[in-house]
Amino acid sequence: PGNLLVNSDCLLKICDFGLARTEESDKTKRMTQEVVTQYYRAPELLLGTQHYSYAIDVWSVGCIFSELLGRRILFQASSPLKQLDLILNLLGTPPLDEIASACDGAKSYILSKTWRAPKVNTLYSLSKNVTHEAAQLILRMLTWDPKKRITINQALGNFTINDF
């Protein structure tokens, strides 16, 4: 993936200078959805939520981690709607309470689709080296509801690189 920096100690940092913004503390202010490269864009952005948090970065890290393991982009689509379809294919149809902040058009789009069960076994086919711990970490990063998504500190506190 692009937008990754590696220093001489092999410390990896994620950056995106073209589509970055600061966190908005005023919950009444509308925030743009035009942040994050599409392949790594969290569902709340694709669903038109008006306010989001650092959880969008956790989603991006989950996508990048999947890509590093599988050596291919996890959600590679030609448009935001196709991107959403790929997410639906992996995670299944979300409960309505998990997309409560979505705009009405996005909710209608999801409801118009045939119900889908999650296909989490797909994560194990990324690579023969994908461990149960790696798949579970990815799933905790790639959840529909940003409030239920693991935080970076939780991920760093619960897993080591030796787990993968």
- Tell me whether residue 23 is in a domain: no
CA 152 to chain centre: 13
pLDDT in tens, 56-69: 999 999 999 999 88
Give dist(CA 82, CA 71) in Å, integer. Answer: 21
Exposure letters 60-95 (e unless 16+ CB within 10 A, then b): bbbbbbbbebbeeebbebeebeebbeebbebbebbe
CATH number for position 73 = 1.10.510.10
- Tell me whether residue 134 is in a domain: yes
- Tell me whether residue 25 is in a domain: no
Torsion angles phi and psi, residue 62, rounded to 5: -60, -40
Give dist(CA 116, CA 91) in Å, integer. Answer: 8
Domain that holds residue 116: 4-18+30-163
- Tell me whether residue 42 is in a domain: yes
- Tell me whether residue 57 is in a domain: yes
What per-residue confidence (pLDDT) applies to 118?
A: 93
Confidence of residue 26 (pLDDT cuts 50, 70, 90): low
pLDDT in tens, 56-109: 999 999 999 999 889 999 999 999 999 999 999 999 999 989 998 888 999 999
pLDDT in tens, 114-137: 999 999 888 888 888 888 888 999
Q: What is the total count of domains within the chain?
A: 1
* pTM tops 0.95, yes or no: no
- Tell me whether residue 24 is in a domain: no
